[in-house]
Amino acid sequence: MSEAFAPGDTVRVSAVNPPGHRRTPFYIRGKQGVIERVCGEFANPEELGYGFDGLPKKRLYRVRFRQKDVWPDYKGDPNDTVDVDIYEHWLSPVAKPKSGRKI
Amino acid sequence: MNDEREHHDHHHGHDHAGHAHPPLQPDDTSPPNNYEVTILAIRDLLLDKGILSAEQVRRGLETLDSWEPSRGAEIVARAWVDPAFKKRLLADGNAAVADFAIDMGSAKLTVVENTETVHNVIVCTLCSCYPRPVLGLPPDWYRSKNYRARVVREPRQVLREFGTHIPDDVTVRVHDSLADLRYLVLPRRSAGTEGWSEERLAALVTRDCMVGVANPEKPRAA
Amino acid sequence: MEPDNTKFTSAREPGRGYHDLGGLDGGPIDPAVTQAKPWEKLSVVVGNALGQKGKRLICTDEVRRTREEMGAELYNRLGYFEKGIESLRRLLIEKGVIDAKELERRMGEVARRIEEDGR
């Protein structure tokens, strides 16, 4: 398995649209967010959907996105977020900016 | 399976396979929907093949009927009066609700707390995942395409349609529950409820509060 | 006015699935809440029972996957529980648990039973 992420890490969701059963919604693909918590390890739904056992388990993360980073026309408060549970294989690390952005 | 065929009760409707069918809705004489017929036929086939038992189906219906928002409301009321319970609930929802004999199964109950500065709202944009053991079946609007499409992108407008206004100095967090976690909002306790019993507090907590599209009512003047 | 998902794909093709609605334009949300009918509750119970530990004939993700494959037309036309039953039907036939012809026969019997004996 790849190295684990920790809360506070900046990550980017893969910008791919593969066929098949996926639990990463279209609107969040390619977007950048921050790990809010490590949720645990779970069998991979993308495999379970086709009758496989989904093992080995994948790490699941709650990733927090600022709404204004997701929707260019977002009209709410700049602090508003959308939190999405995303599996590790959809996430890549992003180098932290020197100013160290907080959640 | 053979026992069922020998003991079926003639007072109940029964088909040629001899399964005793408790009447589902004797007053409903409308013509059956194609999918109603399908699920009844699937059930019958599965019973015939021994894949399911009538007892399993009966118990399942009973369990489903026990799942309703009042269970979630009891949990919220307990968290309001008991800080230690609230701490356990936020740390491990499944373990905490076991106090109320609630079994979340393989789902991981994750409770998110509304505060002075944060308001939470729940959705499942891909299907309609929902914490059923504590809230029952999801309401029509939660399952609707319009809610699933809009609440992630314009939560404040959606909340306003439900009559809920969130001030600008409160952050709105939308939770899209797409994996094994099932979310429950712990709403803020209404002011003016000091000293209230858990039962009285629970009555203020509606299903809509625990999904996050509403806040608990304020107590009315006596 | 509902989200326009008819141009999106089935799970069998790359792209946004017709079920993947987050962020699409939509209209007012109807707040009316309806009670699940007995056959709708039955569909939930049968699905749960088939997925229970020890049996595991089907799992949640397989049911979701079949919803994502039935096509936008059916997905939009059927109600929530109807989609669940359609998924169950496809999955059980796909896995060889039931046969399409025997299901059709049994459906005929069920329809006749309801007509003769009532629900």
Q: CATH 3.90.330.10 region(s) of chain B?
A: 68-211
Predicted confidence band of residue B4 (pLDDT cuts 50, 70, 90): very low
Contact C38 B44 (CB under 8 A): no
- In C58-117, the residues whose Cβ lies within 8 Å of chain B are 64, 67, 78, 80-82, 85-86, 88-89, 92, 97-98, 102-103, 106-107, 109-111, 113-114, 117
In this prediction the pTM is 0.91
- B108 vs A contacts (CB less than 8 Å): 39-40
Average pLDDT, chain C: 94
CATH superfamily name and code, B68-211 = Nitrile hydratase alpha /Thiocyanate hydrolase gamma (3.90.330.10)
pLDDT computed for residue B74 by the predictor: 98
With a CB cutoff of 8 Å and minimum separation 6, the contacts of A33 are A10, A11, A12, A13, A63, A64, A65, A66, A69, A84
Q: Comparing C-alpha atoms, which of A36, C102, C82, C18 is closest to residue B174?
A: A36
pLDDT computed for residue B208 by the predictor: 98
Walk along chain A (103 residues) in steps of 10 and give the mean pLDDT of each run: 85 97 98 97 97 96 98 94 98 77 55
**Chain B: nearest CA to C9, how far in angstroms?**
14
Distance of CA B199 to the CA centre of its chain: 19
- CA separation, residue B148 to residues A100, B129, C24, C75 (Å): 33, 11, 9, 14
Cα B29 to Cα B51: distance, rounded to the nearest angstrom: 30
pLDDT at B6 over 80: no
pLDDT at B11 over 60: no
DSSP codes joined into one string, A40-100: EEE--HHHHTTT---PSPEEEEEEEEEHHHH-TT--S-TT-EEEEEEEGGGEEE-PPPTT-
Q: Comparing C-alpha atoms, which of C88, C69, C53 is closest to residue B39?
A: C88
Cα C28 to Cα B158: distance, rounded to the nearest angstrom: 8
Place of tokens 């936020």: B90
With a CB cutoff of 8 Å and minimum separation 6, the contacts of B7 are B20
Question: What was the ipTM of the complex prediction?
Answer: 0.94
DSSP codes joined into one string, B167-210: -TTSEEEEEE--SSEEEEEEPPPPTT-TT--HHHHHTT--HHHH
pLDDT computed for residue B5 by the predictor: 39
Cα B206 to Cα C33: distance, rounded to the nearest angstrom: 13
Contact C5 B153 (CB under 8 A): no
Residue of B nearest to C118 (CA): B26
With a CB cutoff of 8 Å and minimum separation 6, the contacts of A44 are A54, A55, A57, A58, A87
Predicted confidence band of residue B1 (pLDDT cuts 50, 70, 90): very low
How many structural domains does chain A have? 1
Partner residue facing B44 (CB), from C39, C88, C106: C106
Q: Comparing C-alpha atoms, which of A15, A80, A4 is closest to residue B117?
A: A80
Q: Is residue A45 part of a domain?
A: yes
- Reported as half-sphere exposure (CB side, CA atoms, 13 A), residue A103 has a value of 17
The residue type of A74 is Y
pLDDT digits 0-9 by tens, B14-73? 444 444 455 566 677 777 889 999 999 999 999 999 999 999 999 999 999 999 999 999
Q: Is residue A18 part of a domain?
A: yes
Place of tokens 């026309």: A73
Q: Which domain holds residue A78?
A: 10-93
pLDDT computed for residue A103 by the predictor: 55
Report percent pLDDT > 70 for chain C: 97
What's the average model confidence in pLDDT over C101-107? 97
Give me the domains of chain C, ranges plus CATH numbers.
Answer: 38-117 (1.10.472.20)
Place of tokens 């000293």: B195
Q: Comparing C-alpha atoms, which of B201, B72, B208 is closest to residue B131?
A: B72
Q: Is the Cβ–Cβ distance between A62 and A85 less than 8 Å? A: yes
The residue type of B133 is P
pLDDT digits 0-9 by tens, B104-158? 998 999 999 999 999 999 999 999 999 999 999 999 999 999 999 999 999 999 9
Predicted confidence band of residue C104 (pLDDT cuts 50, 70, 90): very high
- Reported as half-sphere exposure (CB side, CA atoms, 13 A), residue A45 has a value of 22
- B179 vs A contacts (CB less than 8 Å): 23, 39, 42, 45, 60, 85-87
Which of helix, strand or coil describes residue B215? Answer: coil
- Indicate which CATH number applies to the domain containing A17: 2.30.30.50
pLDDT digits 0-9 by tens, C11-57? 888 889 999 999 999 999 999 999 999 999 999 999 999 998 666 89
Query: H or E element: which one contains B80?
Result: helix B69-81
What's the average model confidence in pLDDT over C96-117? 95
What's the average model confidence in pLDDT over C86-99? 97
